[in-house]
Structures are given as structure tokens and as C-alpha cells.
Chain A
């Protein structure tokens, strides 16, 4: 019996670039950044006041930012029996803000399990529902869990929905960590000074290849392997040895029954902070050696969309596989020494790429790695 494959059959995303994967991918290819001056709330007291936000959402209005985003994505052609994994870090934290600012609502309404129920209703799915939160790896970890459920035969169809919003709570928090660059983030650049926050929501429908064929659904890509590992090192700083990310990638390669030589390019977490980018390049160098692969980060363009980042980056990587072209790292001008020969400020064309590696890392030293394969052999 052939092993069950976990395949992506439908997806959509809403980012500051607009709705859909193409709007984001095209903007990245043009080197356009969505990071702009913040108008949603006053940030004049903070060292910086820029972020990538979706312009026409109402803040502290009748609906939360993330629910307004999801209402633009759902309904969608999702089988009602699908399980649901909601990936987020802070979900509807604007409800808690409103409560503490005296604008009605209960702080308790900001709980992630309450958002889970709302998303299940909006997406019209009745399968087992789970919130998964693993800092900035939340949505890539959720995709890994979805793929695992499919491969093990526990589920046939899993909807992964992801979201996070730029709110005053989150902006104040990242400002307090001194983590924000005063200009749009410059991943892997010598002059990088921190990250830029971004926001968005998206979904990916993961199915068994058998069911996808049975229902005649187009297969966008396979989640062929995944790995998760922790640095067990520091709450906010990555490991100086990069062992967590190295472990996560190594596990993903084993899970995909492949090795480094098959990886055509790497979608890195690439936040633009000194420590993160350094840690990632150290891991890639340790694993790929002199066989440098194109590495890019989308966060100079989209901003760091926190819990939703892995899902967006997965969809951009699939688009890059399809088009045979890797987007540039936006705002990357003066390449850091350790990223030289890996990271580019211009698009990189590839000859029929088939396999991509997507990595994410987050607070608490969490690391995830996903291996995506295109339908290269046409043997679905």
C-alpha cells in the first residue's frame, strides 16, 4: 500500500498587499515593501511607528481585526467534515484592549478557544477543532500537525487557519523588547536593526492525496516532511549554536525521506533582528556547507506577521516552486558576510525546482521546518 501523502489542495491569504497569494508574491518580486507609517493607533511614544497593516480594517469597532480578515477569506470551498487547526499568537487581543480601555466587552472574550469557535462557524467546518500556539512558528507547526494527522490516517481533511493583527498591545510589547527597526526590516542585511510588524490571515486546506484525487481537487503541493525542535536556551534569544533549527531541519529531511541535495531553495524566517538572522545562516551553513542554496525572507516586504508567518511563507514558497523563481529579500541592500552567496536582493530563477525548505523560529527557542514538494513527477 502506498503511503498517504498530505497535500495542499486549497489556500488563500490576506496581507497588507491584498487578497491572494499572487498579490503578495508579485509585490515581493517587485521589491515592494508594505511597511508604512502606522495610522491605526498612536505610536508616537515608541521609538518607531511603522508596520505593515491592512488599511481598511476598523480598529476597536464592532468586529475584531482578525475576524474582519477572516470574513474576507470565508466562506471557501472547505469540506464540512474537515478538522480545524487555528494558529495564532494573540488572536483577538483587541477585545482585551477594549475591555481595559472601558469600551465594553469582556477581557475573557479574547481567549483563543473563543476565536476558534467563531472561525469554525465562519469556515463552516464541524470536525475536531484545535488552537495551536507556538509563538512565531504557530502556523508552520499547525501545518506540520495537519500533515501528521493526514499521513497517520487520523484525518482526511484538515483546515489550517492562521491570523495575527497589529494592535497597540502587540506594538507596545515588541517596542518594549527593543525589537523593532526604525525603518522597514532588512533581513540578512549588514544594516539590519530589528523587525517590522505585519499582519494578516490565511488558510490552507490539507488533504490526503487519495481524497484529493477522489474529489478531483487540484494539488498545489505536498507537505512532504516536517520537524520541530527547541533550543532550550533562552526565552527571547535564539541559540548561539543554532542546534534547535538544525535539529528541526534534520527531522524534516528524515520525515520527507530526502536530504539536503534535493532542496532547491530556502524560505527563511529572516526577521531582520541581528540574532535571528545570524542563527539561521549558521544553521544553513552547518547543514548545506558549500552547496549554497537561494535563501530569502519575505518579512522586509510583508512585515513579521507573527503566528501567521509560516502559513504565508509556505504559500509564497509554493508559488516560487510553480514559477521557478525565488523572490528577492526586500530591503536587502548590503549583504551580511555570512549571507553572501545565499541571500539576494533580486529574484533568482531556478530550473524546474521541485523541493523547498521553509523555516520558522520563535520565542522560547521554538523552531519548525517544513519540506514542500511540487508535483514534479505528475504521479499524484
Chain B
């Protein structure tokens, strides 16, 4: 089976864009991915977007771009057989600290459920699954080495084995994110070609630069 890179969406500190359609937007002064997501990226409002943890917000924005790049209009009413596998360098550490600090500040009597939910590293992926109606597998992974290459390989294997129709595979770091959409058949390139382009431990901006070379290979 030929598993390909179908599309991708990315967000860096400078702007955001898509791979297949080669769109790129540079942030205007004062603009952030969060304001841009609300005004230009989401096709319908994300419930409680402003109250979500940072990882969930960046994941939602990046996944929205990847699905848009693929021309997939996914929603809870129109669920799609797409799975999601994601990684980042620190898991849910930021929310873990927020949750437990808040609990301590409340005299160890009261914890906040809406913070606790995001202390699962898989929760940002869950937010994306719910908003976009992704009914495939959902996995958070962390690797000792080569995180992006590893999760791309895992996604390709899941598609080859018939475990998923398509897979979103990506990573977030701070306010940056990158998600590839992989699937069977023709795409921008094969997954193996993408893997060959990637180095170990590349940051998101570097991976975006390399991945854009794929579009020139077509």
C-alpha cells in the first residue's frame, strides 16, 4: 500500500500556512495564532476556545489548517474516519502545574475539574477529535528520539494495517504546531520521502521549511 502525505498545516512564531495549497500568512502586528484562529482559520466557532489550555488551542488551530489543506470539511455532524497521533516535548506539564497549584491555593480542599481534564496529555487531541468529528484512533506519544519521524512511521503503519483510514500526525511546541494528514493513494509525496527529508530533533520551523520542498517535488 502506498501511504502518502495528503496535506499539512503549520503554525510558527511568524505566521501560519498549509502545505498542499502553499498558503502562508504572516502575523500582522499584535496578531497571534489565537486571534487569527478565531477570525481566519476556524470555519465555525470552537466552543470555549479562549478557556482551553494552550496546547489544545494550538492543536485545534493546526489541525484546522491541515484539514482545510486537504479539503476535508469535518464536524461533529459529519464525522470522518481520521485518527490523530500527536506529541510535544513536555506533555501536559504546564496544565499539571496550574491544576495542582490552584488546588494548593484553595487550601487542598477544592480542585478544578476544567483544569484536571487537561492534565491528560491526550486531551488536546481529544478536543480536536470532538470539534472536527475525528472518529479514528487517538494517541499521545513521546519518544526517546526522533519524535516526528517516529509518529509519522506509526501513522503510516496504522494506515497500511487497515487500523485507520487517514491519520493526522504532528507535534506542538509552545505556540507552534505542525500536523500532517496521511492517507492511502496519491498525495503530495510518499511518507518515506518526507521521512528522508527530516533530521533528528528538528524544530517546527525547520521541519516546515523542509516539508515545503515536498511540494516542489510534485
Give CA–CA (A226, B162) in the complex, Å. 11
From A169-177, A216-224, A352-360, give the one contacting chain B: A169-177
Which A residues are in CB contact (< 8 Å) with B150?
Answer: 128, 130
A110 within 8 A of B: yes
From B31-39, B65-73, B114-122, give the one contacting chain A: B114-122
Interchain Cβ contacts under 8 Å between A and B, 9 examples: A116-B144, A128-B150, A154-B157, A168-B108, A173-B116, A176-B116, A230-B135, A364-B125, A364-B127
Inter-chain contact A228/B162, CB cutoff 8 Å: no
Inter-chain contact A230/B138, CB cutoff 8 Å: yes
Which residues 142-184 in B have Cβ within 8 Å of A in the complex?
142-144, 150, 154, 157-158, 160-163
A105 within 8 A of B: no
- Contact A234 to B130, CB < 8 A, known contacts A107-B93, A107-B96, A116-B144: yes
A131 within 8 A of B: yes
Which residues 125-140 in A have Cβ within 8 Å of B in the complex?
128-135
Q: How large is the interface on B (under 10, 10 to 19, 20 to 34, 35 or more residues)?
A: 35 or more
Inter-chain contact B161/A111, CB cutoff 8 Å: no
Q: Of B76, B96, B138, which one neighbours A134 at CB under 8 angstroms?
A: B138
Measured CB to CB, the residues of B under 8 A from A are: 76, 79, 83, 90-91, 93, 96-97, 99-101, 103-104, 108-113, 116-117, 119-123, 125-127, 129-130, 132-144, 150, 154, 157-158, 160-163
- Contact A101 to B104, CB < 8 A, known contacts A176-B113, A233-B130: yes
A103 within 8 A of B: no
Give CA–CA (A42, B109) in the complex, Å. 10
Number of interface residues of A (CB under 8 A): 64
Which B residues are in CB contact (< 8 Å) with A111?
Answer: 90-91, 93, 142
Which A residues are in CB contact (< 8 Å) with B90?
Answer: 108, 111
Measured CB to CB, the residues of A under 8 A from B are: 42, 45, 89-90, 93, 96-97, 100-101, 107-108, 110-113, 116-117, 120, 128-135, 141, 144-145, 148-149, 151-152, 154, 168-169, 172-178, 226-236, 243-244, 247, 251, 254-255, 363-366
Q: Of A45, A110, A135, A235, which one neighbours B130 at CB under 8 angstroms?
A: A235
Inter-chain contact B142/A232, CB cutoff 8 Å: no
Most chain B CB inside 10 Å of its own CB: which residue of A108, A151, A233: A233
Give CA–CA (A230, B82) in the complex, Å. 10
Which B residues are in CB contact (< 8 Å) with A251?
Answer: 163
The residue of chain B having its C-beta at the shortest distance from the C-beta of A113 within the complex is B142
